[in-house]
Amino acid sequence: MFRILPEKRDLEPNPAGQYPILGETLIFDNQYIQERISKAERLREEGINPYPANITKGMPSSEFFKHFAYVKELDADEKKDEAQTVTLTGRIKFIRIMGKAAFAKIEDSDGLVQIYYNRDDLPEGYYNNIAKKLFEVGDIVEATGYPFVTQTGELTLHCKDLKIVSKAIMPLPEKFHGLTDQEIRYRQRYLDMIMNPEVKETFVMRSKIVSLIRRFFEDHGFLEVETPMMHPIPGGANAKPFITHHNALGVDRYLRIAPELYLKRLTVGGMEAVFEINRNFRNEGMDQTHNPEFTSIEFYWAYHNYHDLMKLTEDLFDYIFAELQLPKTLTYGDMEIDFTTPFAKVPFVEALTTIGGVPADVATDREKGIAYLKENGIEVNDNLTLGYVQAELFDEFVEGKLINPTFITDYPIDISPLSRRNDENPEIAERFELFMAGKEIANGFNELNDPLDQFERFKAQADAKEATGDEEAMHMDLDFVRALGHGMTPTAGEGIGIDRLVMMLTNNHSIRDVILFPAMKPEAALEEKPKNACKKCGNTNEEELKPAKKGKGYFCIDAAACAKRAKENKK
């Protein structure tokens, strides 16, 4: 569709009547765009700027329907209120021209509204020469007139004036089937939003959810903070980082995989309730629940424990559901998820047996666990510690079965390097994860605040890296250990995956459907193509070429000039 022709930038049509250039570098080389550009030019010739400034938004369509609902109730042959004058603005989505009159549907952020315009009620000649000929689906217009009701009972604006607000030179996808190509939907999200109203609804919903989460924590006395996105040591999670380079300092930096260690430094500094809503970056695979950049909230609450966090999390869900007026039971694919609080709480090892069906003796024995995993066709590293074996068992046999929101509590300590040990059972971390629809949504725990224990845990992670080649094991962060050395109040902290939460609440099953611009490979089509040449005369002037009607290759548009060149070539 686009080809790059950097040296050309005038807007004069070539001898074939084509407008090769728009903007500075792009050429629009298809008939629809050419047609639309020439319409924009014809508007200019008529003294109408196709891109006028200082247009104000008209009455929102929702207000139009509310405000003029009375017109429908009028007791008259023709239901209308000519005394009113109202202006609507929006993008044309449908046009139905019937000779000397036309209907169109225009869309603003609230939805569609119908307008009616005809030859006799617009200025002399305007309908035939401008409105009918030069306005088309995709254009944004401003319509002024009075409300009336059509024969089929639809409240409609009868136009006395119809102006262009912005001329679209790209055609919209087909009106009935719309846009279904996933690739275009993600790459050109704006088109997806124009053609698929539910997409806009999802992202409006996402915005509201984030806003409510923010308000909830502010109302509970939490302070929103921003910590670095570029870390000298990747920390706070087990994940592979993106690496970048800081020229001025001459050092590599890691895009953050989690804000945890910085937020806890703030707790040491005396901020007793903090939260951060922002992006994390992980250099890992992509699928329906993973995007390389994703959004989470992490919050840290001094003088509280993980039981308080679970209660706070339930309160947060209740708050979101109440504010959004969502029913407590939501459909998610073929699942029904019951969000009634309190959520179920099941200890980790108990979940292995009662939910996962793992025999009790296997659930607590490293060797038996490994054997059991192998029996079930799962590859495992023989050096795994009991906690890691249990984590494998959990992922395999439990996670997918947790449909209704469920807190899994009391995790093995060796897979919880940042959480506090339980005083009675030092093999257990005072930690929980929240699952729903078979997916992990949140992770929270009593923060480890013993600096020497923290140092040993980092060391154990480094050792695990040695032993099992775990690339995602944590790095030693001595500065963080030093911070803990100054004393951190007993604190509980939690992270919630915002993207996944939005998926659950909007019944979307791909993370790409809740991220406005999901990660995509570069698009080949936008790169410069090799020069095309006419098959007969070898002409490489792009604007004089057209593709062959059948088969491959290009030919000159101007056949006479082509023949002349071919002759000269023979000499």
Partner RNA sequence: GACCCGUUAGCUCAGUCGGUAGAGCAACUCCCUUUUAAGGAGUGGGCCCUAGGUUCGAAUCCUAGACGGGUCACCA
Residues 62-91 that bind RNA (CB under 7 A): 78
Residue 546: strand pairing partners: 555
Choices 201-209, 224-232, 423-431, 515-523 (CB under 7 A): range interacting with RNA = 515-523
Residue that the structure tokens 């074939």 belong to = 16
User: Contact between 181 and RNA (CB under 7 A)?
Assistant: yes
What's the full length of the chain, in residues?
571
Q: Report the C-alpha gap between 409 and 445 in whole angstroms.
A: 9
* Shortest Å distance, C-beta 205 to RNA: 18
Per-residue interface string for the shown chain with RNA, residues 4-43, x marking contact by CB under 7 A: --------------------------xxx--x---x----
Angle made by CA atoms 33, 38, 43, in degrees to the nearest 5: 125
Among 5, 8, 171, 460, binds RNA (CB under 7 A): 171
Residue that the structure tokens 């004069």 belong to = 12
* Shortest Å distance, C-beta 25 to RNA: 19
Per-residue H/E/C for 155-207: EEEEEEEEEEEECCCCCCCCCCCCCCCHHHHHHCHHHHHHHCHHHHHHHHHHH
* Shortest Å distance, C-beta 139 to RNA: 10
* Shortest Å distance, C-beta 252 to RNA: 21
Pairing of strands 111-118, 155-166: parallel
In this complex, which beta carbon is closest to RNA, that of residue 95 or of residue 534? 95
Among 107, 154, 338, 365, binds RNA (CB under 7 A): 154
* Shortest Å distance, C-beta 567 to RNA: 25
User: Contact between 287 and RNA (CB under 7 A)?
Assistant: yes
User: Contact between 450 and RNA (CB under 7 A)?
Assistant: no
User: Contact between 463 and RNA (CB under 7 A)?
Assistant: no
Q: Report the C-alpha gap between 419 and 445 in whole angstroms.
A: 6
Q: Report the C-alpha gap between 208 and 305 in whole angstroms.
A: 28
Q: Report the C-alpha gap between 2 and 22 in whole angstroms.
A: 10
User: Contact between 469 and RNA (CB under 7 A)?
Assistant: no
Among 54, 56, 152, 247, binds RNA (CB under 7 A): 152
User: Contact between 522 and RNA (CB under 7 A)?
Assistant: yes
User: Contact between 284 and RNA (CB under 7 A)?
Assistant: yes
In this complex, which beta carbon is closest to RNA, that of residue 97 or of residue 344? 97
Residues 425 to 444 in contact with RNA, rule: CB under 7 A = 440, 443
Choices 61-69, 209-217, 406-414, 552-560 (CB under 7 A): range interacting with RNA = 552-560
Which two structure tokens, joined as six digits, stand for 333?
């694919």
Q: Report the C-alpha gap between 450 and 418 in whole angstroms.
A: 10
Q: Report the C-alpha gap between 242 and 410 in whole angstroms.
A: 31
Which two structure tokens, joined as six digits, stand for 410?
């009391």
Among 137, 225, 481, 566, binds RNA (CB under 7 A): 137
